[in-house]
Every structure is written in structure tokens, then in C-alpha cells.
Amino acid sequence: MSSLLKKIPSQARLNQAKELSAAVFGHTWNPACKRNGSKILRQELKGPQISKYYGVNEELPTFKDFKKWFPELKLVDPREEYRLKMVQDRKKRNKGAPKKKSE
């Protein structure tokens, strides 16, 4: 039994082998589990995805573009019309935006 145990290599030797294999296969070798911040290096950049949340302006034309392309059709955006109407209504009730300051 004792002869069998002797044949098992020491821990230091095993670690050497592991280090070598890590170098060969391009793995990281960090036996002490030191905090080396590699987690941050490994992360993917999420900025491009995040900045697209509200949609990309260049992807689709807006109502204004259609107005510009087809002026002969005299298109009217119902939502814009409604907004302007509401602004007028608010002004009538003296609830509109304050006047600009004049110096």
C-alpha cells in the first residue's frame, strides 16, 4: 500500500503540470484565486445595445419625411394636429406656456 502512495506525485509537481497545461491551451492559471479584475476584461461591451433602446433614427422614415416626399398629397398627421389643438385649448383657458422674457 505504501509503495503505491509513493508513486503519486507531490502537490507542487501537480501544480506545475497544471500550469504548463494552462499555458499550452491558453487557459488562465490563478491558483491563489487572486482578484485580478479579468472579469471586467472578459465582459462584452453592452453600449451599442443600450443606446438603441429608444430606436435608431436612421432605420425608419417619419411622418415628416413622407410630407417632404409627397407634398402634393397634403398629408396631415392626426397626432400632431391633436397636439396643436390641445395647445390652443390650453391657451384659451390661460393655462399655456409662459411668455418669453423680454429684456
Torsion of CA 19, 21, 22, 24, to 10 degrees: 130
What residues numbered 59-78 form the site for another protein, per CB under 8 A?
59-62, 65, 69
52 φ, ψ to 5°? -90, 5
Q: SS3 of 59, please?
A: coil
Contact 29, 22 (CB under 8 A): yes
The residue from 1, 5, 12, 40 that contacts another protein (CB under 8 A) is: 40
Q: Given the complex with another protein, which of 2 and 48 has the nearer CB atom?
A: 48
The residue from 6, 7, 35, 95 that contacts another protein (CB under 8 A) is: 35
Is position 98 an interface residue for another protein (rule: CB under 8 A)? no
Give me the residues that bind another protein (CB under 8 A), please.
Answer: 34-37, 39-41, 43-51, 53-62, 65, 69
